[in-house]
Structure 1
Amino acid sequence: MGSALTTIGLPVALGIIMFGLGLSLTPRDFGRVAKAPKAVVIALVCQLLILPFVCFGLVLAFELPPVLAVGMLLLSASPGGTTANLYSHLFRGDVALNISLTALNSVIAVITLPLITNLAIAYFMPGNTSLGLQLAKTVEVFVIVLAPVGLGMLVRRWRTSFADAMDKPVRIASIVILIVVIAGAIVSNKDILLANLGQLALITTLFCLLSLSIGFFVPRLFRVERRQAVASSFEIGIHNATLAIVIAQTVLGSLELSLPAAVYGVLMFFIALAFGFGLRAADRSRADDAPEAVTASA
């Protein structure tokens, strides 16, 4: 990818997306966690513990080259983004829970993302001293992730009407920016991407489907109500691909590390949409069966 896009375009794009997230957040969003602790804890366990192990298993099963394996683990450690909120709204999830989970995940990711990435590098690329998120780079991740979110929250606190007015335009702009960033990553690196597409398309598709499924069915297993499970599903299943691309290319300085996130970022829109329609079809099927059950019992 061109140096200007890598050093300027990608961080600016992510900054706008995270700033937009901050515009929609208030301290109450963090406090709201206390009202649904069960759903939040289960979703965080799925996001922070189960998914990295699932991704690790997929990477081993597919025998990915080390740099792509690390890229997949970097993707798995990336939190959900604003796109998850939109999908949750579309398919009648608990958007308030999405906002709370996104806020929490963005903060926690400052610790877990460098940790998981460094563990992946140590396992798949032992002895590699050119990669890794040491203290200085971890601070850089902190600035990239939290600084624009904090700025957006301050703007909302000081200019609430402006934040409310900008919420929808910034959400739309975030999606457009996400598409442009991923498209730019694909076009600029089409040769290396095409060379690895065969082994990345299937694993990223499976990872997305497993993420969505774990995010929905694990909470339901623990009797979390359906709207919250839908919210959890999209929050866990739709990773912030832009963040993974920015960390890979600007912080770690590796184009190859960003390839799994670039492929995933394209496919996740369609996979999440299909999954959402699948949930909706299941709801309709249950609604159709309910009258029959009542008639039979009568």
Structure 2
Amino acid sequence: MQDSALTQLVLPLLIVLIMFGMGLSLVVADFARVIKMPKAILAGLAGQILLMPLLAFAVALFFELSAELAIGLMILAACPGGTMSNVICHIAKANLALSVTLTALSTLICVFTTPVIIALAVAHFSQTQITDFSIVSSTVALIVITLLPLSLGLFIRHKFSTTSLYLVPYFRRFSAVFVVLMIIAICIEERNTLLSSFSSVFMATLALNLLAIGIGLLLGWLTRLSAIDGVTLGIEVGIQNAALAIVIGVSLLKHPDYAISAGVYGVTMYIGSLLLAMLAKKD
């Protein structure tokens, strides 16, 4: 994808719409719930914010990914949870309130942690630095395309609750369609790189997803949460906002090859998560 109106304007605007839709699905109580279930929230955030990037780093080294794929995997791991985790938690009959709260809080926190993780990843894996990359400007950009539309959606939900609830499913479908279209576009644009490294990047993303789910379950067990809360953590840590990771790679960093790992993870993350959901539903 060449630097154009599509990558610099349209894609960020689509993320704005997705984050606005997420805001419509939230209420203020979702952010205050940390007081009612602090142990579960802190365990989930530890898995999402701290352990997920560490897992991605280890996976990138183990599979000896190229610099572009490794950085892309780190970008993906540095992003917050995606709204589809809430859908999968609903399918699994898990703790939906916990899932929604973790998605909301990780989105707020990752605005500030994601640029730092990206900077560290680029410094470690890349032979050539991104000269125009700035932690401050990246943080500001993430605030504009994530926090502001999310806050607007939250405000609209507060003022027009019935209408907001009616619109939420449409925004979720739009988000799913957007991710699918972006994955297709990346596969076409970066087909040479993807074909030459598909087996390694597929196995790396699948391994990352399964490890992330395992970490979530382990955190639930270590903190003595209920089984259903542990399943919720597994799903929440394993599902990432792949759409945001793709836009960061393509639009903010202007490196479409950084989006390959996110695009593949956008597919593989449902393998382990849906398997866990089906197993949890049986119980």
Q: 4+ residue stretches of structure 1 with deviation over 4 A?
A: none
Distance in 2, matches of 1:225 and 1:132, equals 43
Aligned Cα root-mean-square deviation (Å): 1.7
Alignment map for 1:48-67 (pairs within 5 Å): 48-67=49-68
Distance in 2, matches of 1:188 and 1:4, equals 16
Q: TM-score, normalised by structure 2?
A: 0.93
2:148 corresponds to 1:147: yes
Distance in 2, matches of 1:46 and 1:192, equals 31
Distance in 2, matches of 1:43 and 1:28, equals 18
Distance in 2, matches of 1:14 and 1:81, equals 12
Compute the displacement of 1:269 (Å). Answer: 2.3
| Preserved contact between residue 178 and residue 243 of structure 2 (Cα < 8 Å) | no
1:109-168: CA deviation from partner (whole Å, max 9, x where unpaired): 011101111111111226614263432222112211212111111111222221121122
Correspondence for 2:230: 229
- Amino acid of the structure 1 residue aligned with 2:268: L
Structure 2 runs not aligned, ≥5 long: none
Distance in 2, matches of 1:59 and 1:131, equals 24
Q: Could you say which structure has the larger radius of gyration? A: 1
Q: TM-score, normalised by structure 1?
A: 0.89
1:54-86: CA deviation from partner (whole Å, max 9, x where unpaired): 211111111112222111111111111110000
Secondary structure of the residue aligned to 2:129 is coil
- Amino acid of the structure 1 residue aligned with 2:197: N
From the superposition, tell whether residues 133 and 200 of structure 1 become closer, same or farther in structure 2 (CA, over 3 Å): farther
Correspondence for 1:296: none
Distance in 2, matches of 1:245 and 1:87, equals 21
- Amino acid of the structure 1 residue aligned with 2:145: I
- Amino acid of the structure 1 residue aligned with 2:170: P
Residue identity over aligned pairs, in percent, reads 35
2:55 corresponds to 1:18: no
Aligned residues between the structures: 282
1:181-222: CA deviation from partner (whole Å, max 9, x where unpaired): 222222333233222212201000000111111112221232
Correspondence for 1:210: 211
Distance in 2, matches of 1:133 and 1:242, equals 21
Structure 1 runs not aligned, ≥5 long: 284-298
Mean alpha-carbon deviation: is it higher for 23-32 or for 81-90? 23-32
Secondary structure of the residue aligned to 1:81 is coil
Correspondence for 2:176: 175
Alignment map for 1:101-180 (pairs within 5 Å): 101-125=102-126, 128-130=129-131, 132-180=133-181
Mean alpha-carbon deviation: is it higher for 269-278 or for 254-263? 269-278
Correspondence for 1:294: none
Correspondence for 1:197: 198
Distance in 2, matches of 1:130 and 1:195, equals 27
